[in-house]
Amino acid sequence: MWADAARAVGAESVMLGSDYNGGVRHLRPSCGTGTSLDGPAGLWNIAQSAALLDALARLGAPRAPLRATLERFLSAWEKVRPWKDAASESGLPSRRVVMGPSLSIEALGGIGGSGDRLGAHFGLDLRIRKDTGIPLDAEPVVYLARARVEGTHALGADEFLHLGLAFSPAGIDAGSGGDLVEGEILPFRIERRPALDQGLAARLELFRGRLRTTPSALEAPGIHAFYAELAIDILGYQMWRRIEAGDDLHGFVLGGVSAQVGSILGAQDGLSFSIYGGGGADFTWVLSPPGGESGSISQMRMFGGVRVAEEGGRFFQGLEAQLFGVRESYGDVRWLHVPHYRGFIGASL
């Protein structure tokens, strides 16, 4: 397939390599496609790049199924030997050695706000990941642990407008092109959001899943991909510590759902642009509210934003606006809401 692609674009050759986590890295920068593939090092992660596959399709180069390509690559991997004058005659490390585990890090910082107050916004996402080596079209990646922290610290005051910590012991995702399936077991989250009367909120769920698809029927000129995403939360326990009343509420999370749609515009000068928006809500049955009355609490969220990323997604920046709401329906019905917004820059390693 790669030889056919090279001939189709008039290149002398196509060069493939492997990084520590087993991903294919470099395309020789002589393809003459008129895109970012011509730049130094080409596309840094072509093994998972829909952009490369789209380029091959536009050029009319024959393409084997991804599963067949992966199996062919892995079978050839074990047969490769060093150059004749190399000190060692042993083969390259086995696939089992190079496919992990490894550490994935995403960090961001910028300016955020809640209501009419501004603050310094920050976020950090850490994952210990491991490729499975399963020869599917979308090779699954297992996350052995994932920890996230995100918050906005008020300017000129010693308090957080919002602070959240999250952890999940295990998860798995599999992506191919713009499609993605992701799942986490026993995700746990604690957060503080004073504008919603949340001194402390803790939540433990049984399962969280996410599905993203890029319908080919909705392709349009100038748009690299249009996507739709659905996420669900299934069963859990929730605790709130209210600031005003000074009491704790406990309940069962029956479920939650959120949806998102967006468009990824074609890359220009090595950058890709995405616009997205969506919303979601959940429902919790309150076990022991004040006065012994049963009731429920629903948390709702609407959001929209724009994101600009270096091709490959290593560096990114964006703007996002959100509206958070809480509806309490035990005793007197109470509705609280607060807008939240942020502008950020970040890096993924």
Which helix (H) or strand (E) covers residue 95, if one does?
helix 95-98
Q: What percent of the chain has pLDDT over 70?
A: 61
How far apart (Å, rounded) are the C-alpha atoms in residues 219 and 222? 9
- What residue ranges define each of the domains in the chain, with the CATH number in brackets? 2-86 (no CATH), 100-348 (2.40.128)
Helices (H), 118-190: none
At 223 the pLDDT is 58
At 67 the pLDDT is 57
Name, of 182-191, 239-248, 292-301, the range with top average pLDDT.
182-191
Show Cβ contacts of residue 344 under 8 Å, excluding neighbours closer than 6 positions: 108, 109, 110, 111, 112, 121, 123, 317, 318, 320
At 69 the pLDDT is 62
Which helix (H) or strand (E) covers residue 121, if one does?
strand 117-131
At 345 the pLDDT is 95
Residue 9 in this model has a pLDDT that exceeds 70: no
How far apart (Å, rounded) are the C-alpha atoms in residues 51 and 173? 20
Mean pLDDT value across the chain: 76
Token pair, residue 196, equals 């919603």
At 194 the pLDDT is 92
Residue 75 CB neighbours (<10 A): 10
Q: What percent of the chain has pLDDT over 90?
A: 39
At 115 the pLDDT is 86
How far apart (Å, rounded) are the C-alpha atoms in residues 221 and 48? 22
Query: What b/e sequence results for 98-120 when a residue is b if at least 16 CB atoms lie within 10 Å of its CB, and e otherwise?
Result: bbbeeebebebebebbbeebbbe
Q: How far is CA 9 from the centre of its chain?
A: 33
Q: What is the mean pLDDT of residues 109-114?
A: 94
Residue 258 in this model has a pLDDT that exceeds 90: yes
In tens, the pLDDT along 158-173 reads 899 999 999 999 998 8
Residue 3 in this model has a pLDDT that exceeds 60: no
Which residue has tokens 């969506």?
A: 278
Name, of 26-30, 154-158, 254-258, the range with top average pLDDT.
254-258
At 107 the pLDDT is 95
pLDDT confidence band for 62 (50 / 70 / 90): low
How far apart (Å, rounded) are the C-alpha atoms in residues 277 and 14? 39
Q: How far is CA 303 from the centre of its chain?
A: 16
Q: What is the mean pLDDT of residues 52-79?
A: 61
